[in-house]
Amino acid sequence: MSRKVRPARKRIYPESTALQNLAPRRKAADETLLTVADVAHKLQISRGLVYVLLRSGELPSLWIRRLRRIRARDLDQFIRERWIGHSGQKAEGPPPKEKKPVEGRLAKYRREHGH
């Protein structure tokens, strides 16, 4: 018994140019994602300090599940904002913290217990 074979259906795909017009065009470098270790290496600082910058919001980042990523353009902007120009003007940084006197254990004990 012979079986009839149907001709394959002709699939219609949208034109590739139509799909390209839907997405905005961006440079590939704008969307490069860096790891915390990459950022630390580029800035020549520790990974811990990068996490401090991320937690404070000074350096924006995004989460991909449990992974933290920083866009290359955000890192470039971060560097540009803090760059000391050739005109001698310093970039504004955080205000200096007031130093509190350090009190030793013995002095604290005496103060608390009236000795």
pLDDT in tens, the chain (115 residues): 667 777 766 665 555 555 555 555 555 545 899 999 999 999 999 999 999 999 999 999 999 999 999 999 999 999 988 886 655 555 566 667 777 777 788 888 888 887 7
* pLDDT of amino acid 82: 84
* pLDDT of amino acid 97: 74
Indicate the pTM of the whole model.
0.50
* pLDDT of amino acid 27: 56
Q: How many residues does the chain have?
A: 115
The CATH number of the structural domain formed by 28-85 is 1.10.10
